[in-house]
Homo-oligomer: A and B are copies of this chain.
Amino acid sequence: MAKKRNIIVGQSGGPTSVINSSLAGVYKTAKERGFRKVYGMLHGIQGFLDEQYVDLSTQIHSGMDIELLKRTPSAFLGSCRYKLPEIHENPEVYEKIFRILDKLDIEAFIYIGGNDSMDTIKKLSDYAVFKGHDHKFLGVPKTIDNDLALTDHTPGFGSAAKYIATSTKEVIRDALGLSYKKEMITVIEIMGRNAGWLTGATALAKTEECEGPDLIYLPEIPFDIDKFLKKTRELLKKKPSLVIAVSEGIKLADGRYVCELSGGGEYVDAFGHKQLQGTAAYLAGFLGAELGCKTRSIEFSTLQRSASHMASRVDVDEAFMVGGAAVKAADEGDSGKMVVIDRVADDPYMAAAGIYDVHRIANNEKLVPRSWVNREGNYVTDEFVNYIEPLIQGDYQPFMVNGLPQHLVLRNKKL
């Protein structure tokens, strides 16, 4: 076997609580498998194009650092939202990338990200095939949204779901304590532009000592504001405190986002995604005006993807596993593929890493199946809950220093 060369890893897209656990998995496995150097690109492919990278051995000095990294939210290496041009549109970019790869003596290129990042893996591996380069390109899935196809679920989803369910339980308790002889409606807004996986995760708050949210609205089902009002009015007759979970991305049948009704601003990011905000605030105001009761809105916001203090052990461990599996695949000659999580068994839950051709994956969004939402379109089914429940199990207690969770951060960025 030829002497092993170097490996480089990057992170891309919106961060999660466990994206650094995948990075830790890449690093540890690469070291164990005898790769010489493990480089980290700073701010993904965008920083790489500026020759921004770091030798990870200057950052990770011990098993303790690996454990800290697993408990650090957001992209340790920095992320980017940078979409590679089509090869024929701008071959110079590709030539530059491969020039840097060769300069660094890179054998394998691992990219941790979501749909858009898998597009990067696809293009780079296509280009390598086209040009006869032997670099390996592997994708590691990452997104709180759980909207990647072919993988049973995505690393990052379980921890976000656990944080959301925990916070929902706490908000429900808060609401119950305050609603004597007066009605109060709390509308919680959850991330998820098109996919309702995270919003549905609020149903996990339904436990032996908590009723869970009263209504759950996913973006997959057109939102009917008249039915919503009728249903809320009906429930309010039975109980004084209602907690309603809505996705930021719920839309009317005519395609307008509910948050647009408020006249609130809209924002389009580098990938052309609309930034949504204000859905819960609009609905809380609407219900308050229509029903004359106290209402409030809560956006779980950025903490859904960064609250590593409430990470799921299953999720952190699986994120680590898929990172390691990508290195193994590259080392064994795979390229143009994404590692996925296969659910091996349900009872008890078991999962293993699988692998798919990245051409089958990129830019397909996995939505919540209609059959996992009730007929009325205002709650998820038991199947939905059974699917998520194993993914929020177990804890990774943060390492607390002086009362706060400690993180691993980039030190000297120079090589």
Residues in B neighbouring A296, C-beta threshold 8 A: 302
A322 at the interface (CB under 8 A from B): no
Instruction: Tell me which of B176, B265, B407 contacts A285 (CB under 8 A).
Output: B265
- CB within 8 Å for A392 and B409 given contacts A171-B302, A302-B171, A308-B170: no
- Give chain B nearest CB distance to A188 CB in angstroms: 9
- CB within 8 Å for A407 and B173 given contacts A298-B302, A301-B298: yes
- Give chain B nearest CB distance to A364 CB in angstroms: 25
A401 at the interface (CB under 8 A from B): yes
- CB within 8 Å for A181 and B46 given contacts A169-B407, A171-B303, A307-B167: yes
Cα separation A55 to B358 with both chains bound (whole Å): 62
Cβ < 8 Å to B, chain A residues 65-88 = 72-76, 78-81
Q: State the number of copies, please.
A: 2
A91 at the interface (CB under 8 A from B): no
Cβ < 8 Å to B, chain A residues 2-52 = 11, 14-15, 42-43, 46-47
Q: How large is the interface on A (under 10, 10 to 19, 20 to 34, 35 or more residues)?
A: 35 or more
Cα separation A393 to B394 with both chains bound (whole Å): 24
Contact between B403 and A15, CB atoms less than 8 A apart: no
Cα separation A75 to B173 with both chains bound (whole Å): 8
Contact between B74 and A406, CB atoms less than 8 A apart: no
Instruction: Tell me which of B178, B204, B298, B404 contacts A207 (CB under 8 A).
Output: B404
Instruction: Tell me which of B162, B174, B298, B409 contacts A403 (CB under 8 A).
Output: B162
- Give chain B nearest CB distance to A293 CB in angstroms: 12
Cβ < 8 Å to B, chain A residues 144-202 = 162, 165-167, 169-171, 173-178, 180-181, 186
A397 at the interface (CB under 8 A from B): yes
The residue in chain B whose Cβ has the minimal distance to the Cβ of A295 is: B267
A216 at the interface (CB under 8 A from B): no
The residue in chain B whose Cβ has the minimal distance to the Cβ of A14 is: B178
The residue in chain B whose Cβ has the minimal distance to the Cβ of A170 is: B306
Contact between A403 and B394, CB atoms less than 8 A apart: yes
A205 at the interface (CB under 8 A from B): yes
- Could you mark each residue 349-361 of chain A with 1 if its beta carbon is under 8 Å from any beta carbon of chain B, else 0? 0000000000000
A-B pairs, top 9 by smallest CB distance, nearest first, are: A43-B180, A75-B177, A392-B403, A74-B177, A74-B173, A170-B306, A174-B306, A209-B409, A393-B403
**A78-B178, A162-B403, A394-B403 known, 14 other contacts, Cβ within 8 Å:** A43-B180, A46-B180, A73-B173, A78-B176, A166-B404, A167-B307, A170-B308, A170-B405, A171-B303, A173-B306, A209-B406, A309-B310, A389-B402, A392-B404
